Structure 1
């Protein structure tokens, strides 16, 4: 084992270690892309899954919601396990388990097995995903992280919108007569390659001081998240029963108990599941708030957009999937520009501009949906989608850097898990609000001939919700640091002197 310090090891060694870092980055970003695609790829294939397995609507809800629940509940724990046992080790366990779970999903003989394997897939993703940001944070010095998180933001945007397109293509091609199954089986070669290359190129890193797994914290966080997310995911299907409201209300005292216990755990042995001290870092606390609210935006938009096109307009999965291509391209382009060129010059104004641009795109979409009704075409949707995509790209890349930049490296895993959990929580909140923002704008029973008009009107209603939440995102961004430079370096006048020492102490080890 050699330390990847690049100091006192010769020029040649430095070049090799630099190349290995960038190869490792490509590996973890590919894994992240695989996870992001898997979150959205299933929605487009639901009719095929129902036809092949005879799955009930409730089972289909579990196929999509079970993954999200297992993913959200396990994220914080997965991040802390990486801190304790090594981020490379947990990443490899996660990607290996994710690959096996994907194979089992593709080979599922019925709806029950598919639900169970999707939950397993979400749980293994919770081990893999937090390590991605942690490995980036531990492998790249502060001055390089802006560029790296720009790339990461582009991958996030591309992955979020590519899922429906990839799912549409694989489902309509019906490869080898397998119908929907290739949407899961496609993960096998990617996962195996990531496992083998990850062993060779990813550097190991872990928390500097010895930590212990906070089992009581894991239990409290899991119970609280389950009490909140389960009713949000399945409440509408059950008719928003009383138990759902009681469960969501009951999650608040559970979270309060979790916070109290974490304070005790911190004083006792310094190994809490969540480092509450992170919230004293202004960039982290503000960024978490922005990500939670922005997650609500994406949760509402992507679901109602899919329902509007496939059910309201009657478009095929392929047509709906290809309609999102301009959005995907715009997100990727804006994500790269925002971090590398715009944010260093204009600071948080870029993120705020992103929220305003997205709102303009949503307002344009509202105008077009009202004007053209069910006769709207894909090319007419291109303008609002490009505008919304540009706005999203200005947010998704720099916000990650802003949240993590000042986080001590020994807590990178815990912070990354919390970031991803907050994203999932925001998305779940958005999905829960769809019942009000979208379905609440329609009658309970809609005549077949009126479906297009009803869904179009509901889409417009939901988009007004998107605009309102984006306005809240814009206002919350005033709590972010003004200048990107202060965030990117991860230092302030009080901490700059400590940075070189921390960089040297926490340098990851390459095998």
Structure 2
């Protein structure tokens, strides 16, 4: 469950003094955070309906999810800097308005291609709005009240992830106004119409030392990621033609150009999109890889699981949404325990949490592969609880572990980089598991093999990547921990 968000590279700097915020101002900010995360998760339960409605391929529905995460991830740092420079309330309002409009475009999309484009821009507007929530809470409240405010925000984002799947399933199944899956997007329009005028209640603030935005760097990074994700998603269906390999080669060239440009901007005294000097610290660079690996397993699992239980097992969207609830309960419980375990056992506890996470994935794979006459909910419940518990033990302390090795003056940039790695990891995971899922599901059916069994095999095969990714992340954390002990 990708509940653990961190501030996206927003430099708070020296901000203009502001009055004590009202409860309404806090509510509007929490609403902005809620809908951003809600729309990340709600699509999971709607994907089978979208795929059926548009006769879409896995690559197309994969891009519906990955496009949102990609745009959201690569523009988070820029969104934070725009707020610092032009006013955080102004950018929050602009982002909320844009999110409502792009959500409407998602809801009226006539085909899969239009929906993918609208989702990309929806993620971009979310990246404009979301960093302002953290920055405004940071400057609106004094040190004594700040912990309470961020605690409320954390609970809100956790609730948004759970509601995105449970409430999202109910919305799709209820078929309000005969809109079907489109209601999950259209509901954001009235929310935006109400929230944008009320955003005036939020005190304005900006940074007196705001830095510039490296638009060329952002463009190069976005192009490099698109050139990588497109062939990974389309390759299995297209049979890996020459253009897919050419695209991946072009992605490497774009990444190289991005790094060269970042070094040039830094040497010339500018403000790069990413401070590449952060990666000179082995703990941060290795930790960033761990973040990418761990977060690549979350969205991809929920996508494949939704296709399994709805398209394969014939469950309704609401039934599928409620299946996610046990994992959410496990995640919340582990999130409370994880910081205490790290305090007592050190960073090695993070690796232990990842082993529990891997065990949950493995158990889920075996449970899916051996489904019989027992009700699906009862058969999968223990594995889902352990899976969610392992996620909470892994993800909750991981971000602090990685960012904590960076000095305070660069903590904002480090947080922005890690936020980006979370979202890019999610998009990358969807692309990679699609290779396995589509490959197995597309094989010539064995005589006597049911639809449910075919989807179960595809799910278990695709989750092989997730299992290996989590185990690799655990090994990396163990190596980081040993290196720290060796240095000390």
TM-score clears 0.5: yes
Tell me what 2:4 maps to: none
Tell me what 1:384 maps to: 383
SS at match of 2:212: coil
Per-residue deviation, 1:242? 2.2
Contact 1:154–1:331 at 8 Å: present in 2 too?
Answer: no
Tell me what 1:129 maps to: 130
SS at match of 1:181: helix
Tell me what 1:239 maps to: 239
Q: Which moved more, 1:406-415 or 1:462-471?
A: 406-415
| Whole-angstrom distance in 1 between the partners of 2:417 and 2:335 | 22
Q: Do the aligned partners of residues 156 and 120 (structure 1) sit closer, same or farther apart at CA in structure 2, a change above 3 Å counting?
A: same
Tell me what 1:99 maps to: 100
Tell me what 2:485 maps to: none
Contact 2:236–2:435 at 8 Å: present in 1 too?
Answer: no
| Whole-angstrom distance in 1 between the partners of 2:120 and 2:233 | 14
Extract unaligned runs of 5+ from structure 1: 483-511
| Whole-angstrom distance in 2 between the partners of 1:322 and 1:130 | 30
Structure 1 length normalisation: TM-score? 0.78
SS at match of 1:433: helix
Alignment partner of 1:293 is 2:293: yes
Tell me what 2:86 maps to: 85
Q: How many residues align?
A: 469
Alignment partner of 1:179 is 2:203: no
SS at match of 1:235: helix
Tell me what 1:426 maps to: 425
Tell me what 1:348 maps to: 347
Contact 1:83–1:412 at 8 Å: present in 2 too?
Answer: no
Tell me what 2:398 maps to: 399
Per-residue deviation, 1:238? 2.7
Alpha-carbon displacement from aligned partner over 1:343-387 (angstroms, at most 9, x marks no partner): 444442342232121122223223333443475520221111111
Tell me what 1:501 maps to: none
Q: Do the aligned partners of residues 39 and 368 (structure 1) sit closer, same or farther apart at CA in structure 2, a change above 3 Å counting?
A: same
Alpha-carbon displacement from aligned partner over 1:421-479 (angstroms, at most 9, x marks no partner): 21222222222221344344455232685222222233333334322221111122236
Contact 2:81–2:210 at 8 Å: present in 1 too?
Answer: no
Extract unaligned runs of 5+ from structure 2: 1-11, 483-488
| Whole-angstrom distance in 1 between the partners of 2:404 and 2:146 | 8
| Whole-angstrom distance in 1 between the partners of 2:416 and 2:298 | 19
Tell me what 2:41 maps to: 40
Q: Which moved more, 1:379-388 or 1:64-73?
A: 64-73
SS at match of 1:454: helix
Q: 1:45-444 to 2 correspondence within 5 Å?
A: 45-46=46-47, 48-49=49-50, 56-57=56-57, 60=61, 63-108=64-109, 113-135=114-136, 157-192=158-193, 194-196=195-197, 198-201=199-202, 204-206=205-207, 209-280=209-280, 284-339=284-339, 341-373=340-372, 375=374, 377-405=376-404, 414-442=413-441, 444=443
Q: Do the aligned partners of residues 257 and 107 (structure 1) sit closer, same or farther apart at CA in structure 2, a change above 3 Å counting?
A: closer
Tell me what 1:478 maps to: 478
Alpha-carbon displacement from aligned partner over 1:140-176 (angstroms, at most 9, x marks no partner): 7899988877766655554445423223211111112
Q: Do the aligned partners of residues 233 and 88 (structure 1) sit closer, same or farther apart at CA in structure 2, a change above 3 Å counting?
A: farther
Q: Do the aligned partners of residues 227 and 136 (structure 1) sit closer, same or farther apart at CA in structure 2, a change above 3 Å counting?
A: farther
Q: Do the aligned partners of residues 115 and 304 (structure 1) sit closer, same or farther apart at CA in structure 2, a change above 3 Å counting?
A: closer
Two-structure CA RMSD over aligned residues (Å): 3.8
Alpha-carbon displacement from aligned partner over 1:373-432 (angstroms, at most 9, x marks no partner): 475520221111111111111233333333445657776664444323212222222222
| Whole-angstrom distance in 2 between the partners of 1:352 and 1:150 | 25
Alpha-carbon displacement from aligned partner over 1:75-132 (angstroms, at most 9, x marks no partner): 3433443344344433332222112222333344565654443332122112223444
| Whole-angstrom distance in 1 between the partners of 2:13 and 2:211 | 23
| Whole-angstrom distance in 2 between the partners of 1:172 and 1:265 | 51
Per-residue deviation, 1:183? 0.5
SS at match of 1:97: helix
Contact 1:162–1:328 at 8 Å: present in 2 too?
Answer: no
| Whole-angstrom distance in 1 between the partners of 2:26 and 2:341 | 23
| Whole-angstrom distance in 2 between the partners of 1:280 and 1:370 | 44
| Whole-angstrom distance in 2 between the partners of 1:111 and 1:434 | 20
Contact 1:149–1:400 at 8 Å: present in 2 too?
Answer: no
Tell me what 1:497 maps to: none
Per-residue deviation, 1:322? 1.0
| Whole-angstrom distance in 2 between the partners of 1:236 and 1:385 | 29
